[in-house]
Amino acid sequence: MITREHLAAITATTAFVGGVAMVAAGATSNRTRLARNGACLALATLPAVIITHAHRAARQAADSAERHRREGYRLALTHASRGLLNPLPDSQRQGATAQGARATLSPAPTPDQA
């Protein structure tokens, strides 16, 4: 679905490329007025191109961070529900105390170990 942000980026980029094309056409055909108008158009639309692309990149980074956060939360819930978050055992194999326990990932016990 094309959003308003997409349309703004497409419009700004198209106007900028059009201005650059006008500069190139004016420079090759010795039409200084066309080249000057193209340069004005390209320079006028350059801030809009930069802003729209920077906004789009920031939105993509935020979406990616949110996806990673959700995936980490889901993975943690999965590990907790499967009993994979266990404290490390101490040297006497008695299990760690509550103060000395560190959250770790360990494999789930098999039925013959239980």
Per-residue pLDDT, 107: 62
Whether 93 has a pLDDT exceeding 60, the answer reads no
First to last CA, the chain: 53
Identify the band that residue 2 occupies on the pLDDT scale cut at 50, 70 and 90. confident
Q: Whole-angstrom Cα distance, residue 23 to residue 16?
A: 11
Among residues 22, 15, 19, 20, which one has the least CA distance to residue 49? Answer: 15
> What value does the mean pLDDT take over residues 12-23?
95
Q: What is the pTM of this model?
A: 0.58
Whether 72 has a pLDDT exceeding 80, the answer reads yes
Per-residue pLDDT, 81: 77
**Greater pLDDT, 18 or 103:** 18
**4-28 and 32-82 helices, crossing angle to 10°:** 150
